[in-house]
Amino acid sequence: MVQQDNKTSSGMGPPPLGVHSVRNDPSEPRRSRAPECRVGASLTKGSSMVSMRKPGLVIASLAIAAVALTGCTAGGGTSSSTSPSDDVKLPSTGWQKADYDQVKDGGTVTLPVDAIPANWQLYNLDSGTVDDALLSTVYLPGFITIKEDGTWEVNKDYAESVELTSDSPQVVEIKINPAAKWSDGTAISADDVAANWNALKSPDSDFAPTSSNVWEDVKSVEAGSSPQDVKITFAKTNADWASVLGGIYPKWAVDTPDHFNNLWKNGPVAADGTTFVSGGPFIVKSIDANAQVVTFAKNPAWWGQPAKLDSLIFKSVSRNGLAQAFANKEIDAFNLYGSADNLKTAESRSDAEIQRSLGTTFRHVTLNGTSSVFKDVKVRQAFAKSLKRDVLAQAILKPVGSPVTVLGNLVYLPGQKGYEDDASSVIGYDVDAAKKLLEGEGWKLDGTYMKKDGKTLTVRFVIPSENQNSANIAQLVQQQAKAAGFKVNIDVVPSDDFFTKYITTDGRDFDATYFAWQGTPFPVSSVKSIYYPANAGQNFPGVTDKSLGAAFDKANSELDADKRITDAQAIDKKLVKLVTTVPLFPEPYAYGVTKGLVNYGPSQFEVQNVPWNRVGYTS
């Protein structure tokens, strides 16, 4: 299913193929809610329940919109929920489509991001956010493109053909478009692909990429009859081989560990290190690190249909200010993030429209399996069973009229072939069962909370600052888990440190936290690095099931689609039993968009390959 939604996007969408990227949500003012669902009593400065630290730019975690809830229950038992919009049928792509000739020449489109890239190498630990990934689609070449239904086709701007030429051994051949070149004049070639493979094939190498999915199964990458003829030979069959062909770096940016991790810290530079480079219709014109603004101009070396826009701007906008920035016409589109206030503000703009689509964002609670409280899987399961996932889903989805669905799978999203609810039987809401699990591990109720050996069952729930919605959902979790005997302390940390210092494998300084993963058209291979092995760059919980290695190998080597689904379903059953990721719900996209803006907006899969040269206005 997923791609890490790291730090994440101020309204963009999923990252490009094969990249995992983490994401957070807007800060919204607290609103009224039904008394039994009230939050906020414990979230006060100086309270023992919350640690307030220096605020910073919100770049990570997910948050709820604090609105009146229905279907809330005050005690044990199972809560249920319905929504007036539960039966709404949303399209996979919600943006207004227009042919190239229908788009006006000229103009500028400005889009929001939480922050410009800390490193323009997506597989570096400091990068990989949804924003970072979206920007990369503007200037990185990709040999395939994703269609509205999630299937792929050859991107003719970059490749004449992409074919599986042999099953045993598995061989993929790419015929690169002879016109394709980097803006410095260097031809895009097999050397680039080979360098990407060498850098990304092992997380244990000096390159230390955050994910080695697919590339780790490749035996060799070499030129065939010409430098534009690429032959990729696999040591192990991998059915998701196409997932790594959506974004390729130039050789000089990935040929050494130092270049891979440091050369693009301040921008996508050419081999000379002094000018920017691009393999797309736009090229970076300027990067203002202080103002957090990146400006793209037309790439004069682009060989395809010229970009319609004169410039494309990405600027940092705080989550609190997104809606007002849109109302003030400072930005041209943004994600509403389930906020009724954002919806109201967006609709106040006279030339705005609300566009909706299915989404790939999957919200969840992550539990640190290496922490003292959650090293016991039974305690993790008890915590998960104390959560009313349907109530959390309503909190985000109802304010903007999106369909409410509780997620029951960690590989597939609802609507994808192979989806089934494996989670409810393991972590379905049941406070009594949660208490019994804890009692079986030696915990006993002492007043309000469970205790063992004189210690209270305490969970440190880490969230980023400047994100009221994130605080609100943490408080809902705090309230719900209390019924099973958990004392949840909410720790608010600087948002610009949230992932790098607290969540990622280098930090892992949390018991529980809340953010999202992004689904992909290649769910089986993309999910691996989140759960296996234990030291994988995106395995933030730090634990695994050793049998997953063989299970992923089996699924990833199965070229028969139906058999592969069966293998993936077996994997999912193992994942939910780990109880390191508590799936909450998938979130449809709802965007505020300037009327007349075409070929950009909400999309489940196509946003991974926005046709930037066709983005613009029809009126």
170 pLDDT above the threshold of 80 = yes
Taking residues 443-450, what's their average pLDDT?
Answer: 98
Task: Answer yes or no: is 155 within a domain.
Answer: no
Task: Answer yes or no: is 256 within a domain.
Answer: no
Q: What is the CATH number of the domain that holds 473?
A: 3.10.105.10
CA distance 252 to 279: 14
Report which of 376, 402, 393 is spatially closest to residue 429, judged by C-alpha positions. 393
* Burial readout 490-524 (b: 16 or more C-beta within 10 A, e: otherwise): bbbbbbbbbbbebbbbeebbbbbbbbbbbbbbbbb
Taking residues 313-337, what's their average pLDDT?
Answer: 96
Taking residues 531-542, what's their average pLDDT?
Answer: 94
> How many angstroms from the chain centroid is the CA of residue 203?
20
> Encoding tokens for residue 492?
């608010």
Residues 6+ apart with CB under 8 A from 607: 12, 13, 14, 134
Task: Answer yes or no: is 138 within a domain.
Answer: no
CA distance 251 to 242: 20
Task: Answer yes or no: is 50 within a domain.
Answer: yes
Q: How confident is the model at residue 88 (pLDDT cuts 50, 70, 90)?
A: low
438 pLDDT above the threshold of 60 = yes
Look up residue 358 and give its amino acid. L
Cα 111–Cα 117–Cα 122 angle in degrees, nearest 5: 110
Q: How confident is the model at residue 403 (pLDDT cuts 50, 70, 90)?
A: confident
Quote the pTM value.
0.72
Q: How confident is the model at residue 334 (pLDDT cuts 50, 70, 90)?
A: very high
Q: Hey, which residues does 593 pair with through a beta bridge?
A: 333, 353
CA distance 11 to 326: 11
Predicted pLDDT of residue 17: 43
Taking residues 573-579, what's their average pLDDT?
Answer: 99
Q: How confident is the model at residue 96 (pLDDT cuts 50, 70, 90)?
A: very high
Higher pLDDT, 292 or 31: 292
DSSP 8-state assignment for residue 585: E
CA distance 587 to 574: 24
Give the N- to C-terminal CA distance of the chain in Å, as an integer: 37
Percent of residues, the chain, with pLDDT higher than 70 = 86
What residues make up the domain containing 549?
A: 2-33+42-66+358-588
CA distance 470 to 26: 8
Q: How confident is the model at residue 75 (pLDDT cuts 50, 70, 90)?
A: very low
Predicted pLDDT of residue 471: 83
CA distance 317 to 72: 34
Poorest-confidence range of 69-73, 178-182, 189-193?
Answer: 69-73
CA distance 2 to 396: 20
Element (H, E) at 198: helix 190-200
Q: How confident is the model at residue 80 (pLDDT cuts 50, 70, 90)?
A: very low
* Residue carrying the six token digits 């996508």: 268
* Residue carrying the six token digits 């992004």: 518
CA distance 568 to 575: 10
Question: How many other CB atoms are there within 10 angstroms of residue 576's CB atom?
Answer: 25
Predicted pLDDT of residue 29: 26
Poorest-confidence range of 163-167, 185-189, 358-362, 429-433?
Answer: 358-362
163 pLDDT above the threshold of 90 = yes
Average pLDDT, the chain: 86
Taking residues 193-203, what's their average pLDDT?
Answer: 96
Poorest-confidence range of 78-82, 183-187, 195-199?
Answer: 78-82
Tens digits of residue pLDDT in 132-151: 999 999 999 999 999 988 88
Cα 275–Cα 139–Cα 174 angle in degrees, nearest 5: 115
Tens digits of residue pLDDT in 9-64: 333 333 334 333 333 343 332 222 222 222 332 332 223 333 332 222 222 222 22
> Encoding tokens for residue 363?
């919200």
Poorest-confidence range of 80-84, 221-225, 314-318, 368-372?
Answer: 80-84
CA distance 235 to 171: 10
Predicted pLDDT of residue 561: 86
Task: Answer yes or no: is 267 within a domain.
Answer: no
Q: How confident is the model at residue 537 (pLDDT cuts 50, 70, 90)?
A: confident
Tens digits of residue pLDDT in 223-256: 999 999 999 999 999 999 999 999 999 999 999 9
Listed in sequence order, the DSSP H helices in 284-388 are 322-327, 340-347, 377-385
CB 201 within 8 A of CB 218: yes
Taking residues 438-447, what's their average pLDDT?
Answer: 98
Predicted pLDDT of residue 39: 30
Report which of 580, 618, 497 is spatially closest to residue 7, judged by C-alpha positions. 497
Task: Answer yes or no: is 402 within a domain.
Answer: yes
Predicted pLDDT of residue 414: 84
Task: Answer yes or no: is 194 within a domain.
Answer: no
Task: Answer yes or no: is 229 within a domain.
Answer: no
Look up residue 572 and give its amino acid. D
Half-sphere exposure of 466 (CA within 13 A, CB side): 19
Predicted pLDDT of residue 468: 67
CA dihedral for 13, 16, 17, 20, sign (positive or negative): negative
Residues 6+ apart with CB under 8 A from 359: 586, 587, 588, 589, 602, 604
Report which of 63, 29, 46, 28 is spatially closest to residue 361, judged by C-alpha positions. 63
Percent of residues, the chain, with pLDDT higher than 90 = 69
> Encoding tokens for residue 527?
């999910």
Number of domains into which the chain is organized? 1
Tens digits of residue pLDDT in 342-358: 999 999 999 999 999 98
